[in-house]
Amino acid sequence: MGKIVSVHSFRGGTGKSNIVANLSTYCALKGAKVGVIDTDIQSPGVHIIFGLGNKKLKYTLNDYLYKKCKIDDVAVDVSKQLKTKGNLYMFPAALDANEITKILREGYEVSTMSEGFNEILDKKNLDYLFIDTHPGLNEETFLSIAVSDILFVVLRSDEQDYLGTAVTLEIAKKFEIPKIFLILNKILPKYEKKDIEKKMQKAFHVPPAGTIYYSEEFADLASKEVFILKYPEHAFSKTIEQIYGHIIED
């Protein structure tokens, strides 16, 4: 069975979803069979980066959680438009006010989500299933973290991120996840990579998988498409390649 790769942050706005979109796309470009599931039900969005923002979706993850369809019915194959060597399936959540309100009001069976992860890996014969988690810590987040083979925790150079990340990692280590890494994002150019990575490793006792500097090109693209496809030689794209190396290593 393939690996579950969760990408999490304690706070919103860290760039987590863009990292998921670009990292999963890179895996598919390398020939892997990849799935991306948006478990940030309350504020979904990673599907927009794959060009599905204005497309009519027959089913969403919300439909599966309320047993209106099978998890396989939610899959949208975006491989053709991304021109990837391997398959990339997106499992989008509903970006709809009524659906989001319903989830917030009624909740859902968390075990149904867990069953869906295993079914996706099995039915699609995936090499990797990327989980874009909901920021912060709740029951759904604990589930995503607990079932992970690899966990990437995204943080910025911000005191609130530091404190929240410390709590997140304390909990993650209790789940005995095989591989945990930090991804430092939106770092100002004045900071030296080796210095800030050394500082983070000393503070959290978790190795950094990559450091991503603030980029005007990235900001200008504004989540309209997958960055690495438009700017394959950019420093961001090279860092995604570096992070990919941590996924494939034994």
- Amino acid, res. 182: L
Q: What does each of the 250 residues of the chain score in pLDDT, given as a tens digit?
A: 799 999 999 998 899 999 999 999 999 999 999 999 999 888 888 999 999 988 889 999 999 999 999 999 999 999 999 999 999 999 999 988 888 899 888 888 888 998 999 999 999 999 999 999 999 988 888 989 999 999 999 999 989 899 999 999 999 999 999 999 999 999 999 999 999 999 999 999 999 999 999 999 999 999 999 999 999 999 999 999 999 999 998 6
**pTM, two decimal places:** 0.95
Contact between 17 and 132 (Cβ < 8 Å): yes
Q: Are 37 and 129 in contact (CB under 8 A)?
A: yes
Compute the distance between CA of residue 219 and CA of residue 187 in angstroms, rounded to an integer: 13
**Secondary structure element (H or E) that encloses residue 69, with its range:** none
Cα gap 29→155, rounded to integer Å? 26
Kind and range of the H or E run holding 130:
strand 128-132
Domains in the chain: how many in total? 1
Helix (H, G, I), strand (E, B) or coil at 81: helix
**Dihedral sign of CA atoms 39, 93, 113, 118 in order:** negative
Torsion angle, alpha carbons of 208, 209, 214, 215, to 10: 170
Q: What is the extent of the structural domain holding 165?
A: 3-248
Question: How wide is the angle at C-alpha 186 spanned by C-alphas 31 and 127, nearest 5°?
Answer: 20
Torsion over CA: 23, 25, 26, 32 (sign): positive
Q: Please give the C-alpha separations between residue 98 and each of 39, 83, 104, 136, 202, in angstroms, as whole numbers.
A: 17, 34, 10, 23, 45
Angle at which helices 193-204 and 159-174 pack, to 10 degrees?
Answer: 50
- pLDDT value at position 87? 98
pLDDT of residue 107: 84
Q: What is the CA radius of gyration of the chain?
A: 17
Look at residues 219, 227, 213 and name the one whose alpha carbon lies nearest to residue 19.
Answer: 227
- Distance (Å, whole) CA 128 – CA 222: 26
Domain harbouring 223, CATH code: 3.40.50.300
Select from 69, 153, 61 the least CA-distant residue to 108.
61
SS3 90: strand
Q: What is the pLDDT of residue 250?
A: 67
